[in-house]
């Protein structure tokens, strides 16, 4: 049954099942990018709303989990990017944000987040899932419905690009 034919009650039960089985995964995907539990919860809720609103256009109900995962990751990156802009505008907040993110080079994180948004979506998803969320290659392949070798290829492409960017930043510094 595709989205156009399915009644609302069908989609409601499908989404309820996604919540019961995969809400931890969705939260961790968002948290991996945002490092903020409240924001991650909000992103999951937004993804759920988007899935409901676009249920007519989701052709394969069986692909709902990767569809929601993709929305969660992209929305999380969008928020991270917006935060970066806000931090630029509000210089006073910047130091706090750096402390919040922690790590040896907190200033670099927004730069990498920006670079992530420039990657092609299939590549970006693999990089985020593997590096920010710690999913294994076979877990990412299962989630995205592609082969493990394709995951490796995309990871290679994405990390190479990020590394190039990192070198550029070092040169500029």
Partner 1 sequence: MMPHEPLTCDAIQTALLETDWDQGQRDRFARILAHAADCPACRKALADYDRLRATIGMPSESAEPALGWDAFQHRLADYLEETAAQTAAWQPRPRILPFLRIAALAASVALAAIGWGLYARSAGSRPVATVSGMTTETPTNPSSANLRFTDQEIAQQVRAFDQVSASFDERASWMLTGEHTSDVGLAPAPLTMRTRLLLLRLTVLKNDAIVSNADLVVVAGQTAELTVPITSGHNLRYHIGTTAGDNPRLSLWAELLKLNQPSEALAAIATSLQARPGDVLNAGQMVTSAGEYQIKIAFSRASSAEPK
Contact between 145 and partner 1 per CB under 8 A: no
How far is it, in rounded angstroms, from Cα 127 to Cα 62? 24
Closest CA to 58 of 142, 2, 125, 16: 2
Question: 144 and 66 in contact (C-beta within 8 Å)?
Answer: yes
Q: Which of residues 64-93 bind partner 1 (CB under 8 A)?
A: none
Contact between 120 and partner 1 per CB under 8 A: no
User: Which tokens hold the place of 150?
Assistant: 């394709």
Q: Which stretches of 64-118 are assigned E, i.e. beta strand?
A: none
From the list 79, 126, 132, 141, which residue makes contact with partner 1 (rule: CB under 8 A)? 132
For residue 121, count other CB atoms closer than 10 A to its CB: 11
Contact between 108 and partner 1 per CB under 8 A: yes
From the list 79, 133, 141, 144, which residue makes contact with partner 1 (rule: CB under 8 A)? 133
Contact between 117 and partner 1 per CB under 8 A: no
Residue reference for tokens 């076979």: 138
**Max Cα distance, the chain (Å):** 57
From the list 82, 88, 90, 136, which residue makes contact with partner 1 (rule: CB under 8 A)? 136
How far is it, in rounded angstroms, from Cα 9 to Cα 27? 25
Contact between 50 and partner 1 per CB under 8 A: no
Binding residues for partner 1, per CB under 8 A? 4, 7-9, 12, 15-16, 19-20, 23-24, 27-28, 31-32, 35, 37-38, 40-41, 44-45, 48-49, 52, 56, 103-105, 108-109, 112-113, 116, 130-134, 136-137, 152, 155-156, 159-160, 162-163, 166-167
């Amino acid at each position: 049954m595709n989205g156009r034919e399915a009644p609302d009650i069908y989609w409601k039960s499908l989404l309820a099942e996604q919540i019961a089985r995969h809400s931890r995964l969705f939260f961790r995907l968002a948290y991996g990018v945002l490092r903020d539990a409240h924001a991650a919860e909000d992103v999951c809720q937004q993804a759920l709303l988007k899935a409901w609103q676009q249920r007519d256009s989701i052709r394969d109900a069986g692909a709902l989990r990767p569809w929601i995962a993709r929305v969660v990751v992209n929305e999380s990156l969008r928020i991270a990017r917006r935060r970066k802009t806000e931090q630029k505008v509000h210089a006073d907040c910047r130091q706090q944000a750096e402390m919040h993110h922690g790590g040896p080079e907190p200033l670099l994180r927004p730069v990498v987040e920006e670079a992530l948004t420039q990657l092609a979506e299939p590549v970006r998803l693999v990089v985020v899932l593997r590096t920010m969320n710690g999913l294994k290659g076979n877990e990412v392949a299962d989630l995205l419905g592609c082969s493990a070798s394709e995951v490796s290829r995309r990871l290679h492409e994405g990390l190479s690009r990020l590394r190039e960017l990192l070198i550029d930043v070092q040169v500029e510094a």
